[in-house]
Amino acid sequence: MADKKKNNYVSKDNLGKNVSKNKNAKNKEDKELKEKREVEKDTSPKDIILSIKNASYRYSDAEEDEYALKNVSFDFESGKLYAIRGRSGTGKTTLLSLISGLEKCTEGEIIFDGKSLKDMNLDKYRNSDIGIVFQSYNLLPFMTASENIILSMDANGLKIKNKKEKAIELMAKVGLKASYANRKVLRLSGGEQQRVAIARSLSYNPKMIIADEPTGNLDKQTETEILEIFKKLAHEENKCVIIVTHSQNVCNTVDKIYDLKKVKEID
């Protein structure tokens, strides 16, 4: 009888060990499955909207080995905010010209949304796919804020029933009240003018925004406010936003920084 009870205790003990063993095995299996999913997530195809592949540029009157930009390769995803950083003479302006299709790569290529810029209608690309924001705003000073935005709509042939209403809607998106719509650009502060410039770049709903030192003429507080607009455009509206900058504040805000170096430093 005692042996039978002993055997029962042994069986219960073994059962407990088996349950614990199975539980540990399940936990291990769950952990491995979670790790596998994380790996799959990390290696899944990314939503790359712009890809610069070994891009080089040499001016037509330059020496054969004298490049303004050489072997640059960067990838940009939709929904992210980027900074391109570099000292004077590293080719930042040249790179912007290549990205915007104003110049063509001497070597390499630029792919936008799966197509090489070499094979695209560049006027259509600039007028519908990308929006450009300048450091000096590039607004027409004798026109009102809304007129500057509407002019962009007209230039792109947009058929919108009430363009002024749309302009006011875009201004609200960048933090400007409707009362600013009829205000001449010359009566706006630098920060307000830059907000109008951003609204103008959004008038045709581009997939990508390129900003050339957009906060270079602004104070720190206004710079932070403008950066919040760019961040929302990237994270909430899934646009790719690329900022060329010297500002550390900008670099502290973006999702990723790309550094450009002078060609001689690369060699």
Residue 104 three-state SS: coil
Give the mean model confidence (pLDDT) for residues 220-227.
Answer: 95
* Confidence category of residue 129, pLDDT binned at 50, 70, 90: very high
- Contact partners, residue 213, CB within 8 Å, separation at least 6: 135, 244, 245, 246
Domain boundaries, the chain: 48-266
At residue 144, φ and ψ (nearest 5 deg) are -80, 170
Average confidence (pLDDT) over 163-178: 96
Give the model confidence (pLDDT) of 231-248 as tens digits: 999 999 999 999 999 899
Percentage, residues of the chain above pLDDT 90: 72
In order, the DSSP letters of 227-265 are HHHHHHHHHTT--EEEEEE--HHHHHHSSEEEE---HHH
> What class is the 48-266 domain?
alpha beta
pLDDT for 52-98, tens place per residue? 999 999 998 888 888 999 999 999 999 999 999 998 889 999 999 99
pLDDT score for 16: 58
Q: Helices (DSSP H) in 134-189: which residue ranges?
A: 145-155, 163-173
Could you give the 3-state DSSP secondary structure of residue 165? Answer: helix
Q: pTM for the full model?
A: 0.80
